[in-house]
Amino acid sequence: MKLKKVCSTLSIAISLCVSGHAFSGTTTTQDFSKYVNPMIGTDSHGNFSHGNKLPYVATPMPMTLLSPQMNTGSWYYAYSSCTKQEPNCVDDTIVNPITGFRFSHEPSPWIGDYGYFSLMPIPASSKVGEDTYPSNDNVAAYGSFEHANEFSHPYEYQITFANGLKSQMTSSRRAGYLRFTMPDPGQKIRLIFDLQDAGSQRQDQISWPSNLSDFFGYTQDGNQEGLPSDFKAFFNMRFYQGDSTREIHPTEIKVWDSGTSVEPEFNSKDQSYQATGNHLIVAFTFDTNEVSALVGNSYISSSQAKFNLEHEMGKTEGDSWQPHRFSDQVALSKADWNRYLSRVQLESPNVSQATFDQERAVYYTGLYRTLINPHAWFECSQYTANGQCDTSASKNADGSYTYNYLFHRSPYQAYQDDAAGQPLVHNGYIFTDEGTWDVYRTKYPFYSLVFPDVENKLIQGQLNVYREGGWLSQWSSPGYRNSMTGTHSDCVIADAYLRGVRDYDVSTAFAAILKDAQQDPAGDAQCANGSKCGRTDFETLQAHGYIPGSSSGSEATGNSLDYAYDDVCIANMADGLIRESHGLAKNSYRQLAKQMRDESSRITGNLFDADNPYKVTDPDGSTDTLRGFFHTREGSSQDGQPIWYGLTTSNPNLSGLYVWRNGYNEGSAWQFMFYMPYDVPKLATLFAKANGISDPKAALEAQLDKLFTSTSDYDATAYGYIHEAKEMTYLGLGQYGFNDQPSWGNEYQYNYTHAPGKPSALSGI
């Protein structure tokens, strides 16, 4: 057997610098941020992904992210207009123009953005925004550029357009700082402020006092799923002269609503103007060639957005508030990144400096991406001197915290006011815009090792989700959302607890994950019959010990195996609680642990096909047979034998093993064959029995070898098209899809075989 090398030889020593107390990371004078390249992964499109990433300027776990945009959709920036792997791509060197700089909350292009708006600078000499509606198309005429004039860092983005207009961006957690400069002092700037399309059921609003000191309001745009009733994303914006602290005001303001010019209403009582509509666009014209826009963001109110801006991007001396200079704000953001990135320090004495720098770029860019999600949803009423929320709190007897200054509006409840007419808020942390299916086996175990202080706060936030919505979230954006499978917050919490990350209410944490396993969400409107929270097809799962293929359609087997994994995680936490003697009596925990493991074994036992041989095809066209796969089950025959579902293929060269969907999410029987990582010895024994091999370790090795050496072909007819399958073929590592979650971790199962070093042939290490 020949395994394909895909990486260069490299040996890296990793040093962890972990502090258990500072949420903002550790102090360092070394610049790790210089190795981060936010452009990596941005040459992505729906038909072929090179990462599905955007070049964000943000802080670790931001509320608001800034990015250039080329359109108003979800894939709003791409390094080229198409990729060579994409059908009908004629020229992959074309660069689409920039149409604005977006204040974003998007968790991923697949989920979509919400509460977003953009600013685009154009020459004031243009008629666009003066007497012409500033549509995306005519604004784009001023955004042409070359990548040679574009520079991207986690803490700053800079671009110079073909017309010479230079744009720069930096940010804090809840605010953005944009600086625009025309090359000729005699030129003037017009800013197009686009609140995006709020839709027929939602609206935008902007207001300003007659002295033009600031502009404030909200947008309700975004995908309706996951957004609470009456959701609003608030902003507060003001303008300054270039990099100075001299406030300036627009000389002209024009407003459009859905393409129609509107006259803002004047309120004589408070001497202010206001415009409301479904899609507001505002053109601000300035009598200068240098304009800086500082914009605060909030989910609570416009006044809170102003408070966030003033405390994160400036300082008050006496009665006067002054913004930071742009360069000073860049330095603050850069230092913030280095506090987090410095938690991991790499050494590599066996390669050249140039090679080591390349590898560091890969690593620290990945670490930057790891810290971009989840997004902070919490805000505060008091800041420390360094522009961070004051996190002082009192610890309660149950292990929870009451924070003196941290609060949030709940995305799991309709927006409402309290008895005093103020926005109803809840105490403490909450985070959003992340799916646990995507990260439970990778990022959160990493967090528990490198960022345990951060993970404690994230779990406190998860427990607030449970208190406010009734269930843990499986995908939050920002509230419950129907996306992906499993209830993997169970695993995140259990794994953290077992690793010693326990600075939260442990009893409530265990009750929350146990509810996922034991309560039917069918009657809960929040959960939409388990599709948004809780477990889908709960009664069917309890009755059969698996979810039949026709019940959950395309993802029945993936869901079933996810729940088996989740049950083992709950059992493991119960074992840990026995050792720590928390809450329930030890016998109760023992009973729960046994019950969860029995449920897990029942699921995997019902779905493991040990009897039927399936054709395995090698890239050279030769074939072999293999047994031992988790298959989608429809029921049982009269003699009690399993009836397997969805294993037919229209491709005569492939067996049903290669059929994507039909029970599996983003994969086939191949990608889910090893989905018992919590009990690899038992899985090896199942493989040995199925294939008549006496040595379980040898059987596991043979099964893994077939995964990596089979053809990379597939049958995705049930999807029509799915980019993950095409990308797997492009990688050429057999049926191992390094590009997607279901395959992650399979290579480590070689550690239980007689050839633990085989993955080195794959990685080149």
According to the model, what pLDDT value does residue 3 have? Answer: 40
- Integer Cα distance of 197 and 488 in angstroms: 34
What the block records as the tokens of 398 is 């149950």
Per-residue burial over 108-140, b = 16 or more CB atoms within 10 Å of its CB, e = otherwise: bbebbbbbbbbbbbbbbebebbeeeebebebbb
The HSE-up count of residue 522 (CA atoms within 13 Å, CB side) is 7
CB count in 10 Å sphere of residue 757: 10
Chain centre to alpha carbon of residue 239:
31
According to the model, what pLDDT value does residue 16 have? Answer: 59
Cβ pair 178, 193 in contact under 8 A: no
Minimal CA–CA distance to 413: which of 402, 426, 399?
A: 426
Name the phi and psi angles at 587, rounded to 5: -65, -35
According to the model, what pLDDT value does residue 7 have? Answer: 34
Q: What is the 3-state secondary structure (H, E, C) of 386-418?
A: CCCECCCEEECCCCCEEECCEEECCCCCCCCEC
According to the model, what pLDDT value does residue 481 have? Answer: 93
**Helices 489-498 + 443-450 axis angle, to 10:** 30
What the block records as the tokens of 592 is 């729960």
The runs of H, that is alpha helices, within 277-324 are: 302-312
Spatial neighbors of 247 by CB under 8 A, at least 6 apart, are: 213, 238, 239, 240, 241
Cβ pair 535, 570 in contact under 8 A: no
According to the model, what pLDDT value does residue 11 have? Answer: 46
pTM of the model: 0.94
The HSE-up count of residue 66 (CA atoms within 13 Å, CB side) is 33
According to the model, what pLDDT value does residue 225 have? Answer: 87
- Integer Cα distance of 333 and 343 in angstroms: 17
According to the model, what pLDDT value does residue 19 have? Answer: 47
- Is the Cα torsion angle 407, 377, 494, 484 positive or negative in sign? positive
Average pLDDT of adjacent 10-residue blocks, the chain of 765 residues: 38 52 59 97 86 95 98 93 82 92 95 96 96 93 97 98 98 98 96 90 94 97 87 97 89 96 95 96 97 98 97 89 95 97 91 92 97 98 94 97 98 92 96 96 96 98 97 95 94 97 97 97 88 93 94 87 98 92 74 96 97 92 94 93 89 92 94 96 98 97 95 92 91 92 94 91 57
Give the max Cα distance, the chain: 88
